[in-house]
């Protein structure tokens, strides 16, 4: 499995309705899932998270609590946080 970039994870999560958590610096928070050797991004609204070393973008489920695009701009740095 190829290692994906933070931007790819951000975009794939948004495509499934998630609002990715980002750090105060504007970068994707890759330690929302943080247990042992596992770490990865998570969703601000449904609290889903995954190890991005063990799983791939295709494993991202649909968000159980999606936010509207207008709401997203005010949370977690917004949809353009990594661009």
| 69-79: pLDDT as tens digits | 545 444 454 44
Q: For residue 13, what are its two tokens?
A: 């999560």
Structural domain that includes position 24: 1-83
Average pLDDT over residues 6-11: 94
> How buried is residue 78: exposed, middle or buried, by Cβ count under 10 Å (0-12/13-18/19+)?
middle
| 27-53: pLDDT as tens digits | 999 999 999 999 999 999 999 999 999
Q: What is the band of 67 on the pLDDT scale with cuts at 50, 70, 90?
A: confident
Q: What integer best gives the mean pLDDT of the chain? A: 83
> How buried is residue 28: exposed, middle or buried, by Cβ count under 10 Å (0-12/13-18/19+)?
buried
Q: Is the pLDDT of residue 83 over 50?
A: no
Q: What total of structural domains would you count in the chain?
A: 1
């Amino acid at each position: 499995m190829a290692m994906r970039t933070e931007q790819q994870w951000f975009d794939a999560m948004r495509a499934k309705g998630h609002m990715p958590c980002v750090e105060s610096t504007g970068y994707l928070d890759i330690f929302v899932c943080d247990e042992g050797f596992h770490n990865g991004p998570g969703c601000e609204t449904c609290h889903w998270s995954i190890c991005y070393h063990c799983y791939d973008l295709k494993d991202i489920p649909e968000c159980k609590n999606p936010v509207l695009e207008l709401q997203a701009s005010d949370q977690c740095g917004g949809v353009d946080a990594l661009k």
